[in-house]
Amino acid sequence: MDRINPATGEQLDPVETEDEADVERAVERASEVYPEWSGRRMEERQKLLARAGDVLRENKQEYAELMTREMGKPISGALSEVEKCAWACDHYAEKAGEYLADEHIGTEPHADAFVSYEPLGPVLAVMPWNYPFWQVFRFAAPTLTAGNTGLLKHASNVPGCAQAIEEVFREAGYPEGAFQSLIVGSDLVEQVVEDDRVRAVTLTGSEGAGRAVGATAGEQLKPSVLELGGSDPFVVLEDADVEAAAAVGARARTLNSGQSCIAAKRFIAVEEVYDEFLDAFVSEMEALTVGDPMEEETDIGPQAREDLMADLHEQVEDTLSDGAELRTGGEPLDRDGFFYPPTVLTDVPRDATMSCEEVFGPAAAVYEVPDEETAVDLANDSTYGLGGSVWTEDLDRGARVARRIESGCVFVNELTKSDPRIPFGGVKDSGYGRELGEFGIKAFVNEKTVWVQSAADQDV
């Protein structure tokens, strides 16, 4: 696989691609090791996961620099990403046994009925490039600890990250075949999903990829979890702390150089505070540092690929053609690499490109609305439903508004984020199923009912 450093446009050393025979061997290994791996005591699997967290921390700088070279993530964010992966390992190393303990249910006086949470087998994960370690570990940490084996088909521009993640589990002491990376193109995904030995699939990626993988999994009657795109609303009500909302909003739009499914993308402010919010928000966006992602002071690095930068610019230009007004940014930077500046558009029509499509880069659409009711209506006027953010000094009001927003998660006075302790996922075209927390570790288990009846109380 060819790799390009998006900060310089220079070629990195290519990574050798695997073929169908390699995939067959990997699937067979995952299937063969599954009975032994799933038969291990939960405590042993938890201990190995804790060790994986240690390996991540011991090699944090190396993994962070690898992410930055392959997809341009600012180094500070890359270091934080490795730490977050280790946190996920810590969390499930502590909580997996509790999450998957037998759940006893009262039924009849002389019967013991309980739910046993048992693994399924090999699980395929199709993962994106934007958070190349975190996306994988939020799948792998719970799924492997539940007793499944894992197969990773990572994005083609981060094959080095895929290999490094496999090495993390190997170095932690996992058995050969418990977790494997398939260095293959997307053309082989369908046949892996169709393989009888693969028992479930999860995908984080585009809506189109999710529909394709979900359809194949459905035809095979296999469970799937899909975490797809988002166009998250960021609602600023008239009683909000406007300065805080603007500062956090700029960060929420530009985390990972704007390349995040849960980034705030549509900023909706009621008219009483619209001008104040817009001025503060534009100032915050313009104050961000665009530059070399290897430098600690850099806030925004390059877009991950040249074609992605071109797509982003086309969305901005289309939205301006639809009648929006440009407040800052709006043109690719004239320098080596694939850099796009923080960009803010206002007066964006509801049917404009940036209103209807996911915008994967540091470009924000800002809307003025008369009141809370209109803000909620606009927030829900999207085919997506991944996350959202509401800003108000009245916390009860914030909770009420949050309940009305059609998404998988809503944060009040905070940016949308994923956390190992709480479930994460979307509704509508943002997908289905949940990752993380107790819900995540139960995504790929058999919730088996066991009924134990006292023989003395049998009806004859």
Q: Which residues are catalytic?
A: 227, 261
Name residue, tokens 């962070």: 64
Residues 119, 195 contacting (CB under 8 angstroms): no
Residues 64, 75 contacting (CB under 8 angstroms): yes
Nearest to 74 by CA among 258, 253, 284, 229: 258
Nearest to 52 by CA among 202, 181, 180, 165: 165
DSSP state of 156: T
Residue 146: how many CB atoms within 10 A of its CB?
A: 25
Residues 214, 137 contacting (CB under 8 angstroms): no
φ, ψ for residue 241, nearest 5 deg: -80, 95
Task: For residues 407 and 385, give the distance between their C-alpha atoms in angstroms, rounded to a whole number.
Answer: 4
Give the 3-state secondary structure of residue 163: helix
Identify any residues that bridge with 117 across adjacent strands, giving them in sequence order. 447
DSSP state of 424: B
Give the 3-state secondary structure of residue 448: strand
Show the DSSP H helices in 39-147 as ranges.
42-58, 60-71, 75-99, 134-145
> DSSP of 111-136, one letter per residue?
EEEEEEEEE-SEEEEE--SSSTTHHH
Maximum alpha-carbon separation in the chain: 85
